[in-house]
Amino acid sequence: MSVRRTTLAARIGLPVAVAALLLFALFPVYWMISTALDPKAVTRGSDVLPSGFSFEHFTYVFEKGNFGTYLLNSAIVGFGTILAAGVLSLFAAIAVARFKFRFRTSVLIMVLIVQMVPLEALVIPLFIQMRDYDMLNSLLGLTIVYVALSLPFAIWTLRGFVQTVPKEVEEAAYIDGASWFRMFRSVLLPLVAPGLVATSIFAFITAWNEFVFAYTFMKGSDKYTAAVGIYQFFGENSTAWGPVMASSTLVTVPVMIFFVIVHRKLGSGLAAGAVKG
């Protein structure tokens, strides 16, 4: 817009702002990865460059720390959450975006309210419930909790996507004699697919990153998720920073790859969820 009138301030200010942003955003990421690769992780202190490159911390977390099992547990829980939350939230989003019915606004408000419920308030009663039903230490139990956690946001975001599909397109399908399910499969589903991808990623990341429930419910070390598994390398007084950062890298990098792949959809999804509200 005002690119034509490049003032001196803008010519200096813009690169400085970009550099500051890149430094703040990326330095912690860089520090994590370079510590993970540095064989002398603990004594590196203020050296910006690692003293060498080695994968010894990575092999350590797999061989001594059983991190492969934790990653597998996280993946199982994550994909379970995607599947269940994706299907459930799509149904619900279609209901609130497409049909008019009594209490529709009430349902929407309830969905918003549960989004704010603090996990710390739920973890006590859910722990007791899970214990009473013998679901502690169960990946299925954890998955069910994560489905519930990711549903409100998924419904809200998908609702925005369903609303952007013009009603005329659907009506045209009806006039051509299509049944509702036919219309759903061949008209609505392909059009909201990007939204479904975005919400699936969110559901997956919710499950992948979650700490409180996994930490509280999973007490057998073979049932840890990756986010909790890092905790065992972290000591109160002496911490093995190499393994902590290596396992942190293993947890973070898949999420980063996802984010970069879907970043376009992410922005529009959030805007649809926020603005269409």
Which residues from 204-223 bind other proteins, rule CB under 8 A?
A: 205, 208-209, 211-212, 216
Does 71 interact with other proteins (rule: CB under 8 A)?
A: no
Size of residue set near other proteins by CB under 8 A:
103
DSSP 134: T
Q: How far is the CB of 222 from other proteins (least distance, A)?
A: 19
* Of residues 33-52, those binding other proteins (CB under 8 A): 35, 42-46
Exactly one of 61, 77, 82, 144 binds other proteins (CB under 8 A); that residue is 144
**With binding defined as CB under 8 A, does residue 95 bind other proteins?**
yes
Does 259 help bind other proteins (rule: CB under 8 A)?
yes
Query: What is the separation of C-alpha 240 from the centre of its chain, rounded to a whole number of angstroms?
Result: 27
Q: If binding is defined by CB under 8 A, does position 169 make contact with other proteins?
A: no
Nearest to 76 by CA among 272, 214, 177: 214
158 binds other proteins (CB under 8 A): no
Contact status: 178 vs other proteins (CB under 8 A): no
Select from 29, 169, 172, 189 the one that contacts other proteins (CB under 8 A): 29
Do 152 and 114 meet the contact criterion of CB atoms below 8 Å apart?
Answer: yes
Question: 8-37 and 56-63 are packed helices; what angle lies between their axes, rounded to 10 degrees?
Answer: 50
Residues 6+ apart with CB under 8 A from 249: 32, 33, 36, 58
d(CA 215, CA 99): 40
- In angstroms, the CA 179 to CA 100 distance is 19
Please choose, out of 54-62, 63-71, 146-154, 190-198, the segment that lies near other proteins by the rule CB under 8 A: 146-154
Q: Determine if 102 is a binding residue for other proteins (CB under 8 A).
A: yes
